[in-house]
Amino acid sequence: MFTSIRQEEVGLMLKQLFQNCNGKSVKVELKSKFAELSFNIMMRMIAGKRYYGEGAVDEEARQFRDIMKEVVELHGNSNLGDYLPVFRWVDIQGVEKRMVRLMKKMDKFFQFLVDDCRRRRSVSTLSSDLSSESNKEGKKTLIDVMLSLQDKEPGMHSDETIKGAIMALLIAGTESSTATMEWAMSLILNHQEVMNKALAEIDAHVGQDHLLDEQDLPKLNYLHNIINETLRLFPPVPLLVPHESSDNSIVCEFEIPRGTMLLVNLWTIHRDPELWVDSTKFMPERFQGGEGEGYKLIPFGVGRRACPGASLGRRVIALTLGTLIQSFEWERVGKEEIDMTEGSGLSMPKAKPLEALCKPRLAITDLLSKV
């Protein structure tokens, strides 16, 4: 249902890059491009709104951007009290106070989005234009759908639930995809042979007469292998989220009492030399031979609480990377390799935001100029 939104947003990012280049090779900072893309896609699906880039200049957009900037900053902070309970009662870093303040701002903003959608729906019902129970995108958004459910079962789908869903999607679904795209581009810039192979696959299966779209994705196995290999080496949720044992159990001879907080160190599993050949080497080809089978590669978790956004995330990442590789020639800014140091933060971001040189591919210039 939202394919056109994703493609439009990727198209707008290409257009901006193409215009910046003006036919030449120019330096771009990619982390913020990926972050803006992820937020725009998510907010258009949630509320039919776009808060970054061209046209997003009003007070509402500014407020959203300020709130999200603070969310990302706070995510990057560890709270001492989570690890050393002695600090819990003093909130020595003031993290909890900032979180409470931020939560209030976020709640007010999300309530505005819900009320705005509610008002639009009542106007469209009054004008008995039932088909326009959608926003100006002409599509029902997540909030539209949840408000329809609220009409049927108000107790089950309160405003609180809707705001919770908005927050979960924004927090779980943007940073993770942004980080994966940044790591993937960094890895292929350090491995030009991988970039060339991916480009050859795209030229062979997509061609040069249209920009890659979501329907092309199932044909691009090597591109998916690059994404799997990136998620193996740089999983954006390296410890999953904390789980709790619902009963006493024994795992690998360890007795785990009921109610224990359990963290799965998938970063270590993904780099375990007993499980992977040349475990720290970036080698997308390993997935051609089925090396990733079983429960060795679990970047989205497994079981009932595994990531419900896995296929959406994979789709956005593949569409973005594939189109960038198809449309531009990419190079490192200097001779030295891209620094792959991991920064701190919940989604294991790159310590230094990625910069690269980008130049429109001659064969695709015509297509790009029409975006």
Which chain residues interact with ligand HEM by CB under 6 A? 168-169, 172-173, 176-177, 180, 236-237, 240-241, 299-301, 305-309, 312-313
CB of 173 to ligand HEM, least distance (A): 3
Q: Three-state DSSP class for 249? A: strand
Looking up tokens 């679904």, which residue turns up? Answer: 173
CB of 144 to ligand HEM, least distance (A): 17
In angstroms, rounded to a whole number, what is the distance separating the alpha carbons of residues 187 and 325? 13
Residue closer to ligand HEM by CB (options 53, 313) is 313
Cα-flanking dihedrals φ and ψ of residue 192, to 5°? -55, -30
Q: Three-state DSSP class for 361? A: coil
Residue closer to ligand HEM by CB (options 21, 324) is 324
Residue 28: CB atoms within 10 A of its CB come to 18
Residue closer to ligand HEM by CB (options 230, 323) is 230
Sign of the torsion formed by the C-alpha atoms of 87, 92, 98 and 100: positive
Residue closer to ligand HEM by CB (options 21, 72) is 72
- Which phi-psi region, left, alpha or beta, contains residue 78 (left: φ > 0; alpha: ψ -120 to 50)? beta
Instruction: Give the residue from 313, 325, 129 showing the smallest Cα distance to 235.
Output: 313
CB of 361 to ligand HEM, least distance (A): 27
Q: Where are the beta strands (DSSP E) in 286-365?
A: 328-331, 355-360
CB of 183 to ligand HEM, least distance (A): 10
Residue 349: CB atoms within 10 A of its CB come to 22
CB of 328 to ligand HEM, least distance (A): 22
What residue number has its CB nearest to ligand HEM?
309
Instruction: Give the residue from 227, 187, 233 showing the smallest Cα distance to 30.
Output: 187
Helices (DSSP H) in the chain: which residue ranges? 3-21, 30-47, 59-75, 80-83, 95-126, 142-152, 159-173, 175-190, 192-205, 221-233, 266-270, 310-327, 365-369
**Which residues fall within 8 angstroms of residue 349, CB to CB, at 6 or more apart?**
31, 76, 175, 179, 182, 342, 343
Residue 195: CB atoms within 10 A of its CB come to 19
In angstroms, rounded to a whole number, what is the distance separating the alpha carbons of residues 44 and 49? 5
Residue closer to ligand HEM by CB (options 315, 361) is 315
Residue closer to ligand HEM by CB (options 53, 173) is 173
Residue closer to ligand HEM by CB (options 202, 237) is 237
CB of 335 to ligand HEM, least distance (A): 31
Annotation-wise, does 307 bind a ligand? yes
Residue closer to ligand HEM by CB (options 320, 323) is 320
CB of 161 to ligand HEM, least distance (A): 13
In angstroms, rounded to a whole number, what is the distance separating the alpha carbons of residues 323 and 36? 16
Enumerate the known binding-site residues for heme: 307
